[in-house]
Amino acid sequence: MAVNKLLFFRKHTVHPAAAPASAPKPYGSWCSPDITPPPRTAIKRNDDQAENEETQVCESGPRPLQAEIKFEKTRIVVPKPGVQFRPTEADIEEAPIEMTPLAELLKIKKKLFNDPPEDDKPKIVVDSPQSPVPTSPSRTKKRLGFTLPSICDPYITIDPQGRGYISWLMLVTFCYSYNAWCIALRATFPYQTAENTPLWMMADYTCDLVYLLDVALVKPRLMFLYEGFWVDDPAETRKNYRKKLQYKFDIISLLPLDFFYLVFGTEMVILRLPRVLKLQTFWEFHQAMDRVLSSPYVVRIGKTLFYIFYLIHLNACAYYAMSVYEGLGSNGWVYDDQGNAYIRCFYFATKTATSIGKNPKPENVPEYLFMTFAWLMGVFVFALLIGQIRYIIATATRARTEYRKRVDGCTRYLRELNMPTALQRRVTAWYDYTWHQQRCFDESKILNSLPYNMKRDVALEVHMKTLSKVQLFTDCSDSLIRDLVLELRPVSFLPGDVVVRRGDVGHHMYIIKSGECCVMSHDEKEVLATLRESAVFGEISLLGIDGLRRRTATVVSRGFSSLYALSRYDLESALQQHEAAARILRRRADQLIRENAARQTRERLQERQARKLVFYRDSCLKDLESALQQHEAAARILRRRADQLIRENAARQTRERLQERQARKSASTASESGLRQRRRLSSASSADSAPERRDPERRRLSVLSENMPVSPKHEYGLHLSCTGLPTALPTIVFSSDDATNDNGI
Ligand SMILES: Nc1ncnc2c1ncn2[C@@H]1O[C@@H]2COP(=O)(O)O[C@H]2[C@H]1O
C-alpha cells in the first residue's frame, strides 16, 4: 500500500531536482543536507507481490544524463553465458566504436546481458523529502532552443512564491485597480468622450488580455500542496485551479458583456463591472508582497489606504451621479458644477465619510439616505480602517517601543537608587549598543514560536558569518555547530568591561562575534593575548581539568564587543556527543596551560634573580657600613691618640720651656754664658725635628686630603657610605713604621 501511494505521488509530484554534486553548498558542508537532503531512491519490482516485497533503498546522487555521456572508444566486456564472470584478456573484445549513440549501446548491452523485459524493469520511486518548492526542467529549451522564464514557459508549472509569479500578480493587480477605479469614474463622470473612447478601449482590452492570460495560462499552472507534497503535474494543477471558487470569479470577471456596447453604445461602461470581481488576485498580490518585503507594514498600510480612497472614490462617484440625476446646482446640497467635478466631489465625499467637515444640509429623501449611508460608512468602515492603520504602525514600531520602555524603566530605577551617573551612562550605552547590534534583547523569545529544526536553521542563518570562522567548528563535525547554535546567547560588553575574572568559577565559554578582548597577565598590567572575531575563550575552567575549575586569566573587552556565551551545561552535553571537539578544546587548553605555566616559571625566575640582586646589594651595603663604622672608630681612636700626643707634646714643650727659662735664669749667673747658650739651642732644635725617635712608642699620624688617591679595594664602599652621609668624610689612612699602607705611605 505504502509503495502504491508512493507511486501515486510519483505520478503527481515533482521531485526535487537534486543539486548537482559540484554545486556549492550554502555554508560549507553542513547546511544543505539537512534542509534538502540528497534524494534516496527506492527501487521496486513491478509485480503482484509488490506489497510483500522489500523496497530496496539505495543512496544515489543524480545520475548523469545519458545525452551528456560521450563515447569515443568503448570496450565491451562479454561474459561467457552461465559462467561466473571473471574477465580475462580472451574474454575481452575490443569494439572501437567512434561516438556510438547511447541508445545503440544500450541495445547491445541489453542483448548481451539478456536484460529483463521492459515491464520487469525496476521502477524508480523517489521518496526523498522535497525542497520547499520544486522546480521543473524547461521543455521549451528543447523545442525552441532557448529558455523562457518559467512564467512564460507554457510547459512548466509555476512556483507560487517565485519572483516571476509575484511580478505577474503585480501586473494583474494593476489591471484590476484600473478597472476598479475607472469603471465607476467613467460610468458617472463625463470623462469618456467620443474623442478619447479609443484610448479608453485600448486600455480596457489590454487589461482584458492580461485577465485572459491569467485565467488561461498562469493560474492553471500554479503548483499546490497536497498532503505535504508540491504537486506540479500540469493536469493536476489545472484541475486544482478549476475546482476553486476563484476560478468561477475569474471566469465571471471575463464575461464579454462589452458586446452589448453594440446595443447600448460605448458609454455604457458599467457593462464592464464584472471585471471588479477579480478581487482575489488583488489580495493574493498583497499577501505575496507581505511575505517577501522586508517591511511588510508598507504593503499593509498601502492596502488599507487603497480601501479608504476607493470608498471615498465610490462615494464621490455616487454623489456626482445623484447630482446629475437631481440636476447640477438644483439645490444647496448637490454639486453645483463649479470647478473640477471629480476633485469637488471627492472633497465632499471625504468630508462626509470622515465627518470632519461642515456638510451641506440634505433637502430631500434620497439626499438624506445618501448622507446617512455616507456617515454610517464613515463611522464604521473608516473607524475600522483607520484603527487598522494605527495597529499596523504600532506593530511596526513595537520592538522599538519595547526597547524604549526597557531603557526608561532601567534608568528610572537607577536614578531612584541614586546610582552614580557614570554607571547610569554605562547602562544606557549598553542598551544602545545591544539594540543596534541585535535589534532585540532576547533572541530566543522570538525563535521559540518556530519548530525546532526551523528555529535552528534561522539561528544558523543569523549567526553563520561568525560561526563558520570559529576554528573549533571548522575542525569538528558539522553537527556540532547545529547542536550548539541554539544554545549560544548573544551578549554585549562595553570598553573596559571584565568578561571573565581570574580566580572566578567559570560558568560560560565565549565566542567573539565582533570587537576585541584582551587576556591579561596575573597582575593585570600586561596583555598576554588579544583575541579577535571568532576566537574562543573561557573554555579552560569549563573542561573539568583537575585544579583548573577557576578562571586562569582575566579577559577584558577592549572596545565595544559582541560575544556568544555558551553555558557549561550546554558545552558539556555537546562535548559528550562530539569527542573530536572535546579533544580539540582539551588540546588547546593544554597548550594554553603549558604556555601560561612556562610564562609563570620565567617570571618567577626573573623575580628570584631580582630578589637575589637586591639581597646582594643590601649585604654589600651592610659590609660597607660596618667597615665604615670600623674606620670611624679607628679614626676616633687615632684622633684621640693624636690629641693625647699633641697634648703631651705641648706639655713637654711647656715643661722644656720652663726648664729652659729656669736654666736661663740659673745660667745668667754662670759665667760661661756663650757656651751654655749654644748647647741649649742645639738641644731645643733636636727635640722639634724627631720627637718619635726620642719616644719609640710614638707613631706617625697622617691625615690625607680627600682628593688623595684611594685604593680600588675601598673605592665602592667608600663612595656608597659617603653618599649616605651629610658631609664628606676625609680618607684616613693609618700607617706606622712597621706597616705601610697601599699607597706606600
Ligand atoms: N595565554 C593565553 N592566551 C590566550 N588565551 C588565554 C591565555 N590564557 C588564558 N586564556 C583564555 O582566557 C580564559 C580565562 O578563563 P578560562 O580559564 O576559563 O579560559 C581561559 C582561556 O580561554
Atom 9 of ligand 1: nearest residue by CA position: 553
What is the DSSP-derived secondary structure letter of residue 658?
H
- Contact (CB, 8 A) for 538 and 595: no
Evaluate whether 704 touches 732 at the Cβ level (below 8 Å): yes
Cell of 3: 509503495
Q: What are the strands, taking DSSP E only, across 170-304?
A: 224-226, 229-231
Burial of 384 (0-12, 13-18, 19+ CB in 10 A): exposed
CA of 540 to the centre of ligand 1 (A): 7
Q: How high is the mean pLDDT in each 10-residue block of the chain (745 residues)? A: 44 38 35 35 39 38 41 43 47 47 58 52 46 53 61 79 90 95 93 91 95 92 84 88 92 91 88 92 90 82 89 93 90 88 92 76 89 85 80 79 87 88 87 79 75 84 81 76 84 90 91 91 87 89 80 91 90 85 84 87 90 90 91 90 90 88 80 70 58 47 46 45 44 44 40
Q: Residue 247 carries which side chain, given as an amino acid letter? A: Y
Q: Which of 520, 524, 527, 592 to mutate to test the pocket of ligand 1 (most atoms within 8 A of CB)?
A: 592
Q: Alpha-carbon distance 695 to 698, whole Å?
A: 6
All cell numbers assigned to 368: 438624506
Dist CA 415 CA 406 (whole Å): 14
CA distances from residue 509 to 477, 537, 572, 595 in whole angstroms, order as listed:
19, 6, 11, 20
From the CB of 541, is ligand 1 less than 6 Å away?
A: yes
List Cβ neighbours of 597 (8 Å cut-off, separation of 6 or more): none
- Is the Cβ atom of 555 under 6 angstroms away from ligand 1? yes
C-alpha cell, 168:
505577474
Q: How many angstroms does the Cα of residue 388 sit away from the middle of ligand 1?
A: 55
- Alpha carbon distance 561, 516 (integer Å): 6
254 to each of 64, 99, 213, 216, 250, how far by Cα in Å?
46, 55, 11, 11, 6
The Å distance, Cα 554 to ligand 1 centre, comes to 8
Tell me what pLDDT residue 703 has: 44
CA of 541, closest atom in ligand 1: 18
Q: Is residue 500 within 6 Å of ligand 1 at its C-beta?
A: yes
Q: How far is the CA of 425 from the centre of ligand 1 (A)?
A: 30
Going from the Cα of 481 to the center of ligand 1, the distance in angstroms, rounded, reads: 22
Residue 362 and residue 366: Cα distance in Å, rounded? Answer: 9
671: its cell numbers: 759665667
- Burial profile 542-551: b = 16 or more Cβ within 10 angstroms, e = fewer: bbeeeeeeeb
**C-alpha span between 168 and 165 (Å, rounded):** 5
701 CA to centre of own chain:
90
Ligand 1 atom 13 nearest Cα? 538
State whether the beta carbon of 596 lies less than 6 angstroms from ligand 1: yes
Of the residues 498, 509, 517, 519, which should be mutated to test ligand 1's pocket, given the most ligand atoms within 8 Å of the CB?
519
DSSP string, 498-549: EEE-TTSBP-EEEEEEES-EEEE-TTSSSEEEEE-TT-EES-GGGTT-TT--
Give the DSSP letter of residue 710.
-
* Cβ contact 494:560 at 8 Å: yes
Helices (H) and strands (E) in the chain, counts: 25, 17
Q: Is 266 strand, coil or helix? A: coil
For ligand 1, atom 22, name the residue with the nearest CA: 537
Measured in residues, the chain has a length of: 745
Q: How many A from CA of 429 to the centre of ligand 1?
A: 27
592 lines ligand 1 (CB under 6 A): yes
Strand spans (E) along 405-516: 489-493, 498-500, 508-514
- Residue 489 burial by CB count (10 A; 0-12/13-18/19+): exposed, middle or buried? middle
DSSP state of 702: E
SS3 563: strand
Q: Which of 555, 556, 571 to mutate to test the pocket of ligand 1 (most atoms within 8 A of CB)?
A: 555
**Three-state secondary-structure class, residue 550:** strand
Question: Residue 229: its pLDDT value, please?
Answer: 81
φ/ψ (deg, to 5) at 517: -125, 140
Contact in structure between 532 and 590 (CB atoms under 8 Å): no
Distance between alpha carbon 77 and the CA centroid of its chain, in Å?
58
β-pairing, 92-95 with 561-567?
unpaired
- Which residue's C-alpha cell is 690629641? 643
CA gap 478, 473 in Å, rounded: 7
Question: Does ligand 1 lie within 6 Å of residue 552's CB atom?
Answer: yes
Q: Whose CA is nearest to atom 4 of ligand 1?
A: 529
pLDDT at 7: 44
Q: Report which DSSP code applies to 203.
A: H
Which residue carries 565582533 as its cell? 514
CB-ligand 1 contact for 521 (6 Å cutoff):
no
- The closest alpha carbon to 131, from 65, 34, 64, belongs to 34
Q: How far is CA 430 from the centre of its chain?
A: 17
Angle at 276 (CA atoms; ends 275, 282), nearest 5 degrees = 110
Cα 138 from Cα 164, distance rounded (Å): 15
Q: Whose CA is nearest to atom 20 of ligand 1?
A: 538
Q: At 74, give phi and psi (nearest 5°).
A: -120, 140
CA dist., res. 388 & res. 307, Å (int): 11
- C-alpha to C-alpha distance for 527 and 106, rounded to whole angstroms: 72
Work out the burial of residue 258: count CB atoms within 10 Å of its CB; fewer than 13 is exposed, 13-18 middle, 19 or more buried: middle
Stretch (H or E) spanning 165:
helix 163-188
**Cβ–ligand 1 contact at 539 (below 6 Å):** yes
CA 10/CA 278 separation, integer angstroms? 34
d(CA 327, CA 314): 19
595 lines ligand 1 (CB under 6 A): yes
- Cα 586 to ligand 1 centroid, rounded to whole Å: 12
Atom of ligand 1 nearest to the CA of 553: 14
3-state secondary structure of 43: strand
